[in-house]
Structure 1
């Protein structure tokens, strides 16, 4: 039996002009960018699904272009989360899930449900939202991760609700948004957003090594001792967990470099 979960590192999307000739080889056509990126990295977070629906054929095409162990994390439609009453999100959640994402098959990774920074924690309404996230889709197991961006979510009560429904919260390395280092599901999802374009590795090498250590700790079933928890007295079963880490937003020009270096560091 494995003593550690799988650690995947990646970036947001795969189409970005500054990556042409830097991350992507010269003269590589846009049609082959996903093919290339999926062989250099192990995961990609898709932002486009937040803004608009895709066709089943599109998801099938993505799945056909990537290697066996590669996964896509999909950001759920903004219509699901940008609402006053989350309990009323059911139809939007159903519409998002039924657009054809099951065509990804084994390449379907976690689904990210991102909230506006102004959205506050209302326990009953938040639980009603979590209750509407299905465990499976057309026979495929689903993993859900939420990204609360308001400090009111930083409570033991919120952590308890997430754990109750086996939903992860983003371990966000961000200047303004809260970080959820608490483990509440069978996987951990980190979004590393403090990179800079003038740093060739996106993050300083010492910080990449630090995050590699943290991710390996999570994968082994433990919790890093240098990250603050919102429910520090809670007991978490020690068991291997898969881990996903994406270089997002800050330092996007060099995000692929950071992801490759982090993948190398966690393998050591």
Structure 2
């Protein structure tokens, strides 16, 4: 049965304390609080740096069994290396502890910069490197750099399929050619709602869909009106009815709207 995963991009924001998070709630308990009210969280700290295995295990244990974590792939791969010569960097990422999430590991999202246009050879080559199972990710992780030795995590509790989503920010990706390439590699294209800043590519290329909501009218800052929430609820229902899982993450965190909008969307879907 298809399922909706509604959540937020990140959860540790000082401005949410005393608003979404009750006053006096320990920062260490914020993830558990969010996980009680949402279906999923997108881990974005992994975009900025490799996290430690102990962190991944702590996050895993803070959420209920049916909770799912999406994971943002590292900017070292997407923005610094710009998808070139990244096999070792991917190995380091998968060795860093991602696999410790076990059955709570959801899609891994790869966001490319706005000044990186679609180059079929480059992008297709990158997508071909991505492991499709947790066993494949473990095998790739074993090729990590030696500096990872002693702080890696190379265990899996079962061999499960891995899901990948790709969020391009250059308009040249909005093409049949890229959509065909993504579909051939079982990669979902992220629908980015960004107040018109980046292309919103709404093309189904895999058996699940993934949306990142960066702000309805103002990037990262504006909230979503009831009408806008209704629109996204209908978008989710359409895909659920077609048998697809739907992942939706609110990234409009600057003024604290994200968790409230996520709760509102989740309530619409449960009504």
TM-score bucket of the superposed structures, by smaller chain: 0.7 to 0.9
Q: Offset of 1:86 from its aligned partner?
A: 2.6
Identify the residue that residue 32 of structure 1 maps to in structure 2: 29
1:85 and 1:25, CA in 2 relative to 1: closer, same or farther beyond 3 A?
closer
Does 2:175 align with 1:155? Answer: yes
Q: Is the Cα contact below 8 Å between 2:117 and 2:170 reproduced in 1?
A: yes
Q: Offset of 1:202 from its aligned partner?
A: 2.2
Summarize deviations over 1:190-236 as a string: whole Å, max 9, x none.
01112479xx9920001101110011101222xxxxxxxxxxxxxxx
Does 2:247 align with 1:259? Answer: no
Does 2:112 align with 1:115? Answer: yes
Gaps of 5+ in 2: 136-158
Identify the residue that residue 61 of structure 1 maps to in structure 2: 58
Q: Is the Cα contact below 8 Å between 1:75 and 1:112 reproduced in 2?
A: yes
Query: What is the distance in 2 between the residues matched to 1:32 and 1:255?
Result: 18
Query: What is the distance in 1 between the residues matched to 2:244 and 2:70?
Result: 17
Query: What is the distance in 2 between the residues matched to 1:75 and 1:95?
Result: 14
Q: Is the Cα contact below 8 Å between 1:102 and 1:140 reproduced in 2?
A: no
Structure with higher helix content: 2
TM-score, normalising length: structure 2? 0.86
Q: Is the Cα contact below 8 Å between 1:163 and 1:185 reproduced in 2?
A: yes
Does 2:46 align with 1:49? Answer: yes
Task: Give the length in aligned residue pairs.
Answer: 245
Summarize deviations over 1:2-54 as a string: whole Å, max 9, x none.
3xx11011111111111111111121111111111110111111111011111
Match of residue 211, structure 2, among 190, 196, 215: 190
Query: What is the distance in 1 between the residues matched to 2:62 and 2:108?
Result: 20
Match of 1:188, SS state, is strand
Match of 1:86, SS state, is coil
Query: What is the distance in 2 between the residues matched to 1:195 and 1:155?
Result: 24
TM-score, normalising length: structure 1? 0.87
1:148 and 1:176, CA in 2 relative to 1: closer, same or farther beyond 3 A?
same
Q: Offset of 1:118 from its aligned partner?
A: 0.2
Q: Is the Cα contact below 8 Å between 1:13 and 1:44 reproduced in 2?
A: yes
Q: Offset of 1:129 from its aligned partner?
A: 0.6
Match of residue 85, structure 2, among 82, 88, 112: 88
Match of 1:130, SS state, is helix
1:61 and 1:203, CA in 2 relative to 1: closer, same or farther beyond 3 A?
same
Identify the residue that residue 237 of structure 1 maps to in structure 2: none
Identify the residue that residue 121 of structure 2 maps to in structure 1: 124
Q: CA RMSD in A?
A: 1.8
Match of 2:96, SS state, is coil
Q: Is the Cα contact below 8 Å between 2:116 and 2:170 reproduced in 1?
A: yes
Summarize deviations over 1:51-80 as a string: whole Å, max 9, x none.
111111211111111011111111111111
Gaps of 5+ in 1: 222-239
Query: What is the distance in 2 between the residues matched to 1:179 and 1:164?
Result: 21
